[in-house]
Homo-oligomer: A and B are copies of this chain.
Amino acid sequence: MDELDIDVVADVELDDPVLIEGLPGVGHVGSLVAEHLLEEFEAESTLVRRIYSTAFPPQVAVEDGVASLTCTEVYAVTGTGGEDLLVFTGDHQAQHGDGHYALAEAFLDVAESFDVSQCYALGGVPTGELIESYDVIGAVTDESMIDDLEDAGVEFREDEPAGGIVGVSGLLLGLGVRRGVDAACLMGETSGYLVDPKSARAVLSVLETRLGFDVEYDSLDERAEEMEAVMGKIREMESQASMDVPSDDDLRYIG
């Protein structure tokens, strides 16, 4: 295997497809959106590429006893009612900096071979606290893209995300602009502590508006309810903990 291998699994004709990247990250927001799209458009999706890299963890996943090598899978989705899609999803990010660059370039190579017209890199932006209203923060390669995204409900803020965007999502923009590709990063606000289906729903809703398709949210809402139950328990534990105020004596021993 080379440092980077792109296996052609199938070829599908797509009409000006839109790249959707949803790799694991903060709140698993990007992954949740990509997986939900592939579930909802299962009949319309074809696995077209597998991208292998020695920068991925040296690892296989095992499902029902059958092993498969860590990779990014690329699905062609056509007949969505809106734009054709090219969805990038997988269980892992690259494990080191140089690998992130190599992987993002590979994503853009695949995108070019499908004549992708624009890219959406999806992720979460951690707020550090449990949140009520799920805003979607945006970043783009060119400021001419901002107006349309604001119309779809995306917020652009002067200094956010404060630390920039790390990993393949950020590089799709950073390297995309050098190739003349229009790319946007959509980041759902999330506490950052838990898998966050509600944040994923907010991002999906922007994509629906922008790309002209409709999806059901039932399975995502179910996952959101499960997480809600988990968060409920966490809040309960927190409130008990705060009633159980430590005495001065205790505090002396806290390192």
Residues of A within 8 A of B (CB): 1, 3, 7, 54-70, 94-98, 100-102, 104-105, 138-143, 146, 156-161, 164-168, 170-171, 173-175, 177-178, 185, 250, 252-253, 255
Task: Please tell me which one of the listed residues B62, B66, B167, B170 contacts residue A67 in the complex, with CB atoms under 8 A apart.
Answer: B170
CA distance A138 to B62 in the complex (A): 10
CB-contact partner of A54 in B58, B97, B158, B164, under 8 A: B97
Q: Is the CB of A185 within 8 A of B69?
A: no
Task: Enumerate chain B residues within 8 angstroms of A65, measured Cβ to Cβ.
Answer: 138-140, 143, 146, 156-157
- Rounded to whole Å, the gap between the CB of A243 and the closest CB of chain B is 16
**CB <8 Å contact, A66 and B171:** no
A62 x B160 contact (CB < 8 A) = yes
Q: With A and B bound together, what is the CA distance between A171 and B30 in angstroms?
A: 27
Q: How far is the CA of A7 from the CA of B174 in the complex (A)?
A: 14
- CB-CB under 8 A from A67, the residues of chain B are 139-141, 164-165, 170, 173-174, 177, 185
Known: A59-B165, A60-B170, A62-B165. 11 other contacts (CB 8 A): A3-B98, A54-B98, A58-B104, A59-B174, A60-B165, A62-B139, A64-B156, A69-B171, A69-B177, A70-B174, A255-B255
